[in-house]
Amino acid sequence: MDIVYFEMIENFKEDKCIICYLKNKAMNKFFDDFLYESVNDYSLRSRIREGGICPIHARKLESFGDVLAHAIIYSDLLINFKNNHHIEILPRKRKIQDQNVCVFCEKESGFEDTYTKAFSHYFTAQPQFKSAFSEKGFICQRHLKQVLEKITSITAQKELLSVVSHKIDIILYYLEKIKEKNDYRNIHLNYTSEEIKSWHMAVEFVAGSLE
């Protein structure tokens, strides 16, 4: 077994997407390494000048709070803007296919590809992995779709969908309980911990996790 297998098995949580968790963990390390080791890498800074930084990753990078690194990166971006555009003339809108991509988006996509490929392989080939995920794992709908696209076995696809469907049925059960408690006859009843957890799990499944 490789390290990713054990990383997944050991980090399964019944209310957190395993792909989101590992991808975010890897991205945090990439941000940290970038700020403290690679901010002066000319080739990487050149790619950032060309592709810019998307809003999500700009704010994520900002949250690490390295003022000097930001001064270096954003000086590049602002000077690049001034050198390529006259302030009084709006830049001509480029076609979407001609636009460069945020370096951090590319890295994040790479991590997602690595982990969804690993998940699809383990779920198909390793009964212990399948059992562990069924018992205590979770996955968001976006990463579920990516995993299913990588699973070549129709049987394994159906098994994974069945496992996830069962987890969703449990969430729906508790969401119904929440709605019932908002009936005027039941307003004296408090939400249970399972109901609150299911609320958050519903958000996790639909939207994934940024942290």
pLDDT per residue over 44-69, tens digit each?
888 888 888 999 999 999 999 889 98
pLDDT of residue 91: 55
Burial label for 118, CB within 10 Å (0-12, 13-18, 19+), is buried
Phi, psi of 129 (to 5 degrees): -65, -45
Cα of 186 vs its chain's centroid, Å? 38
Give backbone dihedrals phi and psi of 32, rounded to 5 degrees, phi first.
-60, -45
pTM of the model: 0.85
pLDDT tens digits, residue range 127-166?
999 999 999 999 999 999 999 999 999 999 999 999 999 9
**How far is 92 from 85, CA to CA, in rounded Å?**
10
Give the 3-state secondary structure of residue 47.
Answer: helix
Given a cut of 80, is residue 70 above it in pLDDT? yes
- Separation CA 170–CA 136 (nearest Å): 13
Q: Tell me which residue has tokens 């050991």.
A: 10
Which residue do the tokens 């890897």 mark?
A: 26
Q: Determine the residue type at 124.
A: T
Average pLDDT of the segment spanning 92-113: 77
